[in-house]
Structure 1
Amino acid sequence: MKYCLLIFWLPFFGAYPLITSAQHNLVAAIKHSDAYVLLPDGTVSTTVKITRTWQGNFCNTTLTNAGKNNLRLKEAVLFQANRLFKPETAIYAEGFQMLSQYRGTLATPKLVGGYDDNGHYKLPQPTGYKAVYNMLVLQPADSQPMLMGFNSSFRFIGKFYLSADTVKVVMDLENALLKPGASIRLEEFSLLTAKNSNALTSAFAARINHFHPRLQSDIPAGWCSWYCFGPEVTAKNISDHLTYIKQHIPQLKYIQLDDGYQPHMGDWLETGKAFGSSIQAVLKQIKTAGFEPAIWVAPFICDSNSTVFKEHPDWLVKDSLGKPLRSDKVTFGGWRLAPWYALDATNPLVQAHLTHVFKTMSAQWGCTYFKLDANFWGALPGGVYYDKTATRVTAYRSGMKAILKGAGNAFILGCNHPLWPSIGLINGSRSSNDISRDWNTFSATGDENLLRSWQNGRLWWNDPDCVLLTGNLPANEFMYHASLLFATGGLVLSGDDLTTITPERLAILKKMLPPKKTSALFNPALDVGWLKTPGATFLILLNKDDQEKKFTVPLPIAYRVTDYWTGEKKGVYKSEWKDTLPAHSGKVYQLKSL
């Protein structure tokens, strides 16, 4: 528990002063390790010159074709740590796709998120290695942690190949053409050391912001139709909830119409017959009632029955024969009305289409919030793009810029998106898999959200997915879920049929509002967190074990303690807080200094 307090109160003065002599030697070994470029046939290029330039902790790499022939480049291995870390070294790493995260050790990386980049999305990895993406935190048992990460995502995908005794820092070049005498500058790389992981991620986020300034916006609170009505949502469902929310909890400002209103994937400006009214009429009703219309769109996909697919096959990413590429041939095919096809956002006509869709929804329909889903397919692997010089990152970012052009000042939430390529292009980011009303999902998505809490308010606002407070689960499991989501400090969206919620659960939902904007800092076990806001300090205790758990939490000063959910006053505590939580439960205490 002392570690939790250390990371909460420790000021961060930068990575440099905290480095030890042992870390210095480790950093030096990595900085001076071999680098090489692989060609499409797997051989090492002998004519590509690699120039690595360090500025403090940050490295910029340039590749130059010193030969006389055109070259296609598969990938660059920028650095290697061979036998520098023990197999049992603890790790945390991101995935390429939002739903992928990894923990465990170098020898045995374990999936945290819901879906593996390689196993589910079919992204390749070399035999004998596990591929992870974007950032890697290494925590040796006998020294301080180290963070390796890519500070930008303009053109190429950065990743790491892990084995029991090796870490390779890799840039995927996607067979880019390099002409004689020409050069390619790669994404900037960080190699950071500090006393704890919170200091590392703080420095890393600041450097990312240097390249990708965060889209500024307030943090939304609202209601989402998906987890109570799914794709069968109707206009009456929305109208009923608008009436209830206006009367009972008007703090839920955004009323989000999720998947199900459209007749087909891709036909976003049309209304499906089962919806029961026009989309425009429903959105206007929301606006007239004084709330903000929000809508779900999967802008980069269409299904084979859609108007987009039938009338504009030239808009789609192609296979090697020039035909529209079925997504299930190269990756996961989709979860509804699949297999999907991907719009090719390098095509100027597709860019114009995306701008038109979002300008219509924003300027004419009044939408001020867009939940963008299935964005991964905007960076579809294995396809042929209109722009033959495009990478998956540039294709995706071209599409997102076209969307932003049409959406105006609307809030943009990324979901099921390529994580790093979305930085600087979204206001909010889903930080976990989909929620559902069962304990295993509460527990699993909870870990995903807590491990990404460092991103909240730095890269974007985190969206921990909806708050679910209705159903047949025991009350203690709902309290774990509510306490954990409170600790994230991110978006608050109710996913319940609020016309059926009890007064007690409604009171809990109200106490989650407004969103706190600041994330709690947790200990490594993710069971004790401290959340400090301008007006209050909160202590969050989480027990996801299958048996009761005892807590002893040191207090830095004397506090008056109140159970935040019930309002029960617990008294004054000067040196420590002791508590026992039942299995699968959570608590939030509000602390006031004397």
Structure 2
Amino acid sequence: MDSKEWSRVDVSEKKVSLSTEDIAFEWDIQSGSFSLLDSKGGEYLKDCQFQICLGVRTINSSDLKYVSMDTLAITNKNQVDKVLILSLQDPKASHDIRFKVIAMKELAGFTFTVQLINKGQQPLKLESISPLWTKSPILIGEDLENLIYFQNGFHSWELSRAQPLKGESNISHFYSVLTNEVDNSNILFGFSTMDRQLTTVSYETEGEQLDRVTTTCALDGISLAPGKSVVSEEMTVIISADGVKALTQYADLTARRMDAILCDEVPAGWCSWYFYYTMPDEEEILENTRFLHKRFPESVKWIQLDDGYQKAVGDWESNDRFPRGLDYLVEEIEKKGFKAGIWTAPFIATEHSELFKEHPDWFLAEEGDEPKVIDNNPLWLGEYYALDLSNPEVIKHIKSLFKHLKSLGYEYFKIDFLYHATEEAKRFDESITRAEAFRNGIEAIRDSVGNDLILGCGAPLGPCIGITDAMRIGTDIATSWRLDWGGGVYECAVNTMTRAPLHNRWWTNDPDCLLVRQEDNELTLDEVRLWASVIALSGGAFLLSDRMMEVSEERLWLVDKLLPVYPEGALSPDSLTNPEPSIFFLPVENETGEWVVLGLFNLGEEPIDVEVKLADLGLDQGESHHIFDFWDEKYVDEVNDGIVVSDLEPHVCKLYSIRPAKDRPCLLSTSIHFTQGACDIQSERWDEGSNELTLVVCKATNHPEGIYFYFSEAWNIQQVSVNGEIHTHKKHSPNVGSIRKRFKEDDEVKVVFSE
């Protein structure tokens, strides 16, 4: 291959291939199957096919006649892609099929799309399209003992984590990574468009072996008229020795394809739900607002009213606990310098709502046309139903609702229980898929609120990309480690780490609220710190949800250490192989340098040993680094290979800064902010002439905090001053010193050393 050409197409009587420097796609004309090969011709996947399931028959690519091929280059957001289109024909019914394969320069993989054109005289009933299925995943092997897969849940709340293949069928929604734990080879299967069809990746087993991998787009039995066509979602395969890197590449590609949007600023605020649940009232909301104005005037921006203000789920008007109305609440919130958010469950309604009573025909139905009961919620005193988003009248209703809420002054819309609108049921318009109907609904909300913030919750992930600014990516938090139904720190922590690659790519992640109350809280201080560390490292939305006036100053001090939000997100290198991820690391950079903040976690019930290499954190293996423990405020060690923590107790975390060693005195850590220098130290300057280390503080503190510095045994601390005034300091070891005080913004700390 010419060095200037990154891709090549070759055609012969037997094969058509599209290759890059790293990987090749090869279509076998005679068998109607394809393989993915490495640069030397070795097989990653072989004997792959695509499949179209109609109401009366199934079409495999092996059933089709090859007609021709074409190529083109397309530019997509500064990314040049090479496209190969294979034209095929169904000999039984003369349907035309096009199979599109795309290679991307920086990706060791391809995307696949299937188009079916109905050339017959009768409509076709469409059940599904599988852009790829295979019985031969050569790269990772077939021995179940060596394999583990990442199982992504369908919606926000579903537990998503690495799982062993078990039983006959293992299903992941939207994307998955299949890993061979012996040689750490990985194959990512994921859909890079997801707005028209609900998608899955499934693994079928037989005995002790992996039998089949299938990627599927659900078409829900829609009808395809003669002369019309349907196109599958785009499915992506990436081969990588680093599964998490493959996942971030896939997330980046999907974000480009679906025009993902992010919050302009990571939301930080307060939510009423986890203290008041369905019983908030006007005065309590305002009392919390007043307290937050006094205690967190700069770092908190949003006051979000959650469930319980409405007359009924479905009737989004204020009840008697909000006598002066929802607009009055906005006015009072804004007087304190905050912005107002509001919760709705816009696609459902309870049996008690006027909406359901007046418009029962607006809801998803059983075959006999009676509304389909979705579920029963005791908090709402009965059964509830899902709106039919294929009905234009329903879409008009949704637009009217959100235009009204926006007119009241709300600028943040938490939309909840969304996935119920994708239930299998009878719909008003059965010519569109469940995903298309759902997309109609969320697009109606976006059209109505303009550029205001939309937070999805209880949402099917894929179809929301490009509509929601933020997304809940785990279950509900609780003042418990793990409740029977899944709520609590455990599942929230797992999902926050496993879905971390979506943050700042598909949207801004929302890990859920931080609960720090000291009373009526089953969580230990270690468990509170663990969850606080996960939230902080994630870079996602930061929402408090206690009755803030009752929270002790000691617990508020913990909150101080997490604000402002550091917007970049951590990644978990063991999240694709460990069902309980234990490593979550955040690269940090500012004018003082580059370092890593590392969280080590034990989510299990027995002590564990955790080991991580510096190279796995993006640091220089073999170079010296200093480790400092944030929560315990102590220097740990100087290492040049990796970090080992033995017997880490259950439900406990370690939060370390890992800084490259310098040949002079330098900043080591702070207790001010969990990043230990990114949001609290504005600059670090060393003057060789005067042997002075100068640090400028950029975050005022509510309590005395420590700034720690490291120096070799060749140096001694001569004097420490703040803004020119001599200040006491403490020497913790021959190489570590600190100063502790209540700092103000722009304080200049100067440490003078002598040799």
Scaled to the shorter chain, the TM-score interval is 0.7 to 0.9
Structure 2: which 5+ residue stretches go unaligned?
1-19, 25-36, 61-91, 104-109, 206-210, 483-487, 615-619, 663-755
Q: Kindly tell me: are residues 515 and 264 of structure 1, through their superposed partners in 2, closer, same or farther at Cα, counting changes over 3 Å? A: same
d(CA) in 2 for partners of 1:102, 1:23: 36
Aligned mates of 2:500, 2:423 — CA distance in 1? 27
Distance 1:23 1:293 in 2: 59
Give the match for residue 630 of structure 2.
Answer: 564
Please state how far the C-alpha of 1:391 moved relative to its aligned partner: 1.2
Aligned to 1:476: 526
Aligned residue for 1:361?
Answer: 405
SS class of match (1:169): strand
> How far is the alpha carbon of 1:529 from its aligned partner?
2.5
Aligned mates of 2:566, 2:253 — CA distance in 1: 24
- Selected match of 1:495 from 545, 551, 559: 545
- Residue 248 of structure 1, CA deviation: 0.9
Q: For residues 380-432 of structure 1, what are the alpha-carbon distances to aligned partners after superposition, in whole Å with 9 as ceiling and x for unaligned?
A: 321212x3322111111111111112212211110001111111110111110
Distance 1:160 1:134 in 2: 7
Q: CA deviation at 1:97?
A: 2.3
* Residues 1:518 and 2:568 aligned together: yes
Among 573, 580, 586, the alignment partner of 1:531 is 586
2:301 is the counterpart of 1:253: yes
Deviations 1:236-283 (A, max 9, x none): 221111111111122121111110000101111x11224454222222
Aligned CA distance change for structure 1 residues 391 and 514 (closer, same or farther; 3 Å): same
| TM-align CA RMSD | 2.7
Cα deviation digits, residues 515-544 of structure 1 (max 9, x gap): 222221223142223201333531211122
Q: Report whether the alignment pairs 1:35 with 2:94.
A: no
Task: Note closer, same or farther for the CA distance 1:138–1:335 as it changes in structure 2 (3 Å cut).
Answer: farther
- Alignment of 1:60 with 2:120, yes or no, is no
| One-letter amino acid of the structure 2 residue matched with residue 64 of structure 1 | I
1:325 counterpart (372, 379, 399): 372
Q: Which amino acid aligns with 2:248?
A: S
User: Does residue 122 of structure 2 align to residue 107 of structure 1?
Assistant: no
Which range is displaced more, 231-240 or 348-357? Answer: 348-357
Matched residue SS, 1:339: strand
Counterpart contact for 2:23–2:38, Cα < 8 Å: no
Number of the residue aligned with 1:400? 442
Find out whether 1:379 has 2:419 as its counterpart. Answer: no
Asked whether the 8 Å contact 2:55–2:124 carries over to 1, the reply is no
The corresponding residue for 1:69 is 122
Q: Which amino acid aligns with 1:384?
A: R
Which of 349, 356, 369 is 1:309 aligned to?
A: 356
- Check whether the contact 1:23–1:193 (CA below 8 A) recurs between aligned residues: no
CA-CA distance at 1:213 after TM superposition: 1.2
Q: Which amino acid aligns with 2:434?
A: R
Q: How is 1:580-591 mapped onto 2 (pairs within 5 angstroms)? A: 581-591=648-658
Contact 2:628 2:635 in 1 (8 A): yes
1:16–1:236: structure 2 CA closer, same or farther, 3 Å change rule?
Answer: farther
Inter-partner Cα distance in structure 2 for 1:198 and 1:23? 25
Look up the equivalent residue of 2:50 and give its one-letter code: A
Shift in CA distance, 163/391, structure 1 to aligned 2, threshold 3 Å:
same
Cα offset, 1:452, TM superposition: 0.2
1:155–1:394: 8 Å Cα contact kept in structure 2? yes
Corresponding residue to 1:87 among 116, 123, 144: 144
Whole-angstrom CA distance in 2 between matches of 1:22 and 1:447: 36
Shift of 1:23: 10
Give the 5 Å matches for 1:332-481: 336-362=380-406, 364-385=407-428, 387-440=429-482, 441-470=488-517, 471-481=521-531
Higher relative contact order (CA 8 A, sep 6+): 1
Question: 2:548 corresponds to which letter in structure 1?
Answer: L
From 156, 167, 170, the counterpart of 1:98:
156
**Structure 2: how far apart are the matches of 1:466 and 1:101?**
17
Give the direction of change, closer, same or farther, for the CA distance of 1:42–1:514 in structure 2 (3 Å limit).
farther
Deviation of the 1:492 alpha carbon: 0.7
CA distance in 2, matches of 1:448, 1:408: 30
SS at match of 1:136: strand
Give 1:346 shift. Answer: 2.8
Counterpart code for 2:190: G
Corresponding residue for residue 193 of structure 2: 152
TM-superposed deviation, 1:454: 0.2
Give the secondary-structure state (helix, strand or coil) at the position aligned to 2:540: coil
Contact 2:347/2:417, CA 8 A, preserved across alignment: yes
Aligned 8 A contact 2:582 2:600 in 1: yes
Over 3 Å counting, the alpha-carbon distance change for 1:550 and 1:171 in structure 2 is closer
Are the aligned partners of 2:533 and 2:599 in contact in 1 as well (CA < 8 Å)? yes
C-alpha deviation, 1:221, in angstroms: 0.5
2:260 corresponding residue in structure 1: 214
Q: Report the counterpart of residue 507 of structure 1 in structure 2.
A: 557
Code of the aligned partner of 1:382: A
Q: Distance in 2 between matches of 1:37 and 1:383?
A: 23
Q: Compare the two structures and name the one with the higher strand fraction.
A: 2
1:34-68, Cα deviation, whole Å (9 max, x unpaired):
33322335766953554322122111211122433
In structure 2, C-alpha distance between the alignment counterparts of 1:558 and 1:261, rounded to whole Å = 56
SS in 1 for 2:334: helix
Judge which range, 314-323 or 214-223, deviates more. 314-323
506-515 or 342-351, larger mean C-alpha shift: 342-351
Aligned length: 554
Q: Which has the larger radius of gyration?
A: 2
Contact 1:74 1:175 in 2 (8 A): yes
Q: TM-score, normalised by structure 1?
A: 0.86
CA distance in 2, matches of 1:590, 1:144: 30
State whether residues 159 and 475 of structure 2, in contact with CA within 8 Å, keep that contact through their aligned partners in structure 1.
no
Q: More displaced, 496-505 or 365-374? A: 496-505
How far apart are the structure 2 equivalents of 1:552 and 1:166? 34
Q: Does 1:194 align with 2:240?
A: yes
Q: In the alignment, which residue of structure 2 is the partner of 1:131?
A: 171
Report which of the two has the higher share of helix: 1
The residue that corresponds to 1:294 in the other structure is 341
Q: Which residue matches 2:737?
A: none
Task: Report the CA distance shift for 1:38/1:575 in structure 2 as closer, same or farther (over 3 A).
Answer: closer
Q: Post-superposition shift, 1:199?
A: 1.7
Distance in 2 (CA, whole Å) between partners of 1:481 and 1:23 is 47
Partner of 1:116: none
Amino acid at match of 2:49: D
Structure 1 stretch displaced more, 405-414 or 456-465: 405-414
Q: State whether residues 156 and 172 of structure 1, in contact with CA within 8 Å, keep that contact through their aligned partners in structure 2.
A: yes
Change in Cα spacing, 1:280 to 1:74, as seen in structure 2 (3 Å) is: same
Q: Against the structure 1 CA distance between its residues 87 and 333, is the aligned structure 2 distance closer, same or farther, given a 3 Å change threshold?
A: farther
- Partner SS, residue 515 of structure 2: coil
Listed one character per residue, the Cα deviations across residues 429-478 of structure 1 (whole Å, up to 9, x for unaligned) are 11101111112331222111110000000000110011112224321121
Counterpart Cα distance in 2 of 1:36 and 1:333: 40
For the 8 Å contact 1:479–1:587, the answer to whether it is kept is no
